[in-house]
Structure formats: structure tokens, C-alpha cells
Structure 1
Amino acid sequence: MVRYLQRLERLAPMGYTAGVHIRFASPLYLRSTYPQAWQDIYAANSYSLRDPLVFWGISQSGSIRWSKINLPDPFGVLDVAADHGLKFGVVSSCGKITSRTIVGVSRSDREFTDPEIDEVAALAEALHEIAEPPGELTPAMIEALRLVGDGFRHTAAAAEIGISESALKARLSSARERLGARTTAEALRMAREYRLI
């Protein structure tokens, strides 16, 4: 992931924001290198709920220059961004609506060229692909992870759902394998991060 982010950084002199696998209005991974003053204003004014770039990225797949986005901006988000040097930019969006990746890049001196836009799109696709959340867990795996996460020891968790301790351990092992986790604690953390439980 780092090499893709480094390429974005080289493409975007005024910074970038990458929201990877946005599910339920929250990204699995978020990184922004825009100027800190802009990030502070953006957060303080809840611009993520008002930003036409975000609206475009959620509703469309593909790439577009900021100047070509034909959406209302009643809060003047793009004007305030321009005041902070983010005058030209591109937004690229990919993935299903239920797990969208949106990347925005900016510069202060000129519009992005078509080859640069193609590279931003390729980087967004690459970030989306390498950060793909694991497949869904079965209800049995979720139940086992939840009980362990609630502090039940294996014996007590197994008794709680009426199975043997070895059956519980098998469910936990399957969950670890599906998530690519080394330990049950890591599997539990990942399942929560991916909103699988």
C-alpha cells in the first residue's frame, strides 16, 4: 500500500486523500496529506457531509476533474479549499456502492493532465484491490468471536451456545483462517474493523 501512496504523493503537490473501502460512511483505511489547516477546517465544519467531491465519488465510478463536477456546493467547500491552495484536482472512485474507494488529489498550479488522471484512477483501483476486506464470516464464526470478545473463556463460551469446546475452537480457527489472522485476538480486532461483527 505504501508504494501506491508514495506515487499519489508525487502526483499531488498539494496533497491527496484516500478513503479505501468506505462502508457505512466510514472507510476501512483513510489517509490525507492535504495541508493541515485545510484538514482542520474540513473536520471542524463537517465538510465530509457537504463536499460535492464526496457526493460525486459515492454516486459515480470513474475519474473527473474537480472543475467538471456539476453538483451544488451550497457551503462553498471548493472555494474554501482553493483558499488553502487546493485549486485544481481530480477525484477517482471505484468499487461497489457498498464498499467504495475514493481518492482525491490536488495541485495549485494547473489542471491534471489526462495521463495523470489515468494514473490516479489506476492507483485508486490498486488501493481498492489490495485492501479488499476478507469474505463474510458464517453466523457460527461470528457468534464464537463475539463470545470470546465479550470475555468468555472457551469452556464458558462453548457452554453458552451448547457446543463442545473443541467445536468452539474449530469455529475460532475457521474465523482466523478466513480473516488471515494469526491469533483469535487479531481475528476479533479485524472482524470489528471490517464491520463483520
Structure 2
Amino acid sequence: MIEEGRQYGLVYGASVARRNEKSPILRCVLFAARPDRELTDLEIDCLADVLDEAMTGIGINSGLSEVELETLRDLGAGLSHRQIASVREISIQTVRKRIDRAKSILGARNAMHAVRIAARLGLLDAPAML
């Protein structure tokens, strides 16, 4: 990152990093640079605030609602759409909508890919509530 910044004339910089306390696997880093001077402590504090706000916006669930995570957990446990609908007392269409939204948020190709991505992010650690 520093070398790339130098290519654009950015000589002075700072970074802030945060770890999500509830899910330690989730980490974020924010870099900022400028060409003319070191960043002040106040500017670095502002960067930290921006990162904190961004992490809050994304949240512990990476943008997934609890019901979407619940559906991914159920899929990961091997339940079919019909079984999930029955256990959760929702329609199969609702199950599909939850899966589609999860796929979109996670950038997954299909439902099982969404389960794998969510598992890799540590989002499926809580047991399914059956």
C-alpha cells in the first residue's frame, strides 16, 4: 500500500485497524495518505471514527439479517428448502427470498456458496435453532 501511494505522490500516511470483538475473524483496516505533511492525531482519530462507523454499518453479520443467517445455518445443517419452511413456519418462497438476499450480499453464486462464504467469515458459528 505504501509503495502504491508513493506512485501517486502520497508520502505521508497513517492506518487504523479494528477487530470485531464479537467475531475476531472479522478485521478492517483503513489507510489514508497525503503528499504534503504527516496526518495530525486529530485526523487519525477521525479516520478511526470513520472505520468504526463503517464497521457498525456492516455489522457483525456482514450485512445479513439474523433470519438470513438462520436460513444459511439451516442449509449448512443439511435441511432442504421445504424442511426449513416447515421448521421456521414460513413459506418456501420466503426461504428462497432469504437465500437470494444472502447470496446477493455475500456475492455468492448459489446457496451452498453463500453457506461456505458465511462459514469462512465466522458468521455461522452459532448453532441452528431447530
TM-score range for the pair, normalised by the shorter chain length: 0.5 to 0.7
Q: CA deviation at 1:182?
A: 5.1
User: C-alpha distance in 1, partners of 2:47/2:115?
Assistant: 26
8 Å CA contact 1:94–1:100 kept in 2: the answer is: yes
> Gaps spanning 5+ residues in structure 1: where?
1-50, 52-77, 145-156, 159-164
Checking the alignment, whether the CA contact within 8 Å between 2:13 and 2:31 is kept in structure 1 is yes
User: Counterparts of 1:117-156 in structure 2 under 5 Å?
Assistant: 117-132=44-59, 133=61, 134=64, 137=70, 139-142=73-76, 143-144=78-79
TM-score (structure 2 length as normaliser): 0.55
The alignment status of 1:82 with 2:9, answered yes or no, reads: no
1:168 aligns with 2:80: no
Structure 1 position 193, deviation (Å): 8.8
Q: Secondary structure at the match of 2:118?
A: coil
Name the residue aligned to 1:190. 105
**Equivalence for 1:111:** 38
CA distance in 2, matches of 1:193, 1:130: 22
8 Å CA contact 1:93, 1:100 repeated in 2: yes
Equivalent residues of 1:95, 1:128 under 8 A apart: no
Q: For residues 171 and 103 of structure 1, what CA distance do their matches in structure 2 show?
A: 42
CA contact (8 A) 1:90 1:117 kept: yes
How many residues are matched?
A: 98
Q: 1:101 aligns with which of 12, 20, 28?
A: 28
Secondary structure of the structure 2 residue equivalent to 1:92: strand
Q: Percent identity?
A: 16
TM-score when normalising by structure 1: 0.39
Quote the Cα distance in structure 2 between the aligned partners of 1:187 and 1:79.
36
Amino acid across the alignment from 1:185:
D
SS in 2 for 1:86: coil
In structure 1, how many angstroms separate the alpha carbons of the residues matched to 2:8 and 2:115? 33
**Structure with greater Cα Rg:** 1
Q: Is the 8 A contact 1:92 1:102 kept in 2?
A: yes
Letter in 1 for 2:10: L
Say whether the 8 Å CA contact 2:17–2:30 is kept in structure 1: yes
Mapped partners of 1:193, 1:126: distance in 2? 27
How much has 1:183 moved relative to structure 2?
Answer: 4.4
Distance 1:129 1:80 in 2: 28
Distance 1:182 1:98 in 2: 28
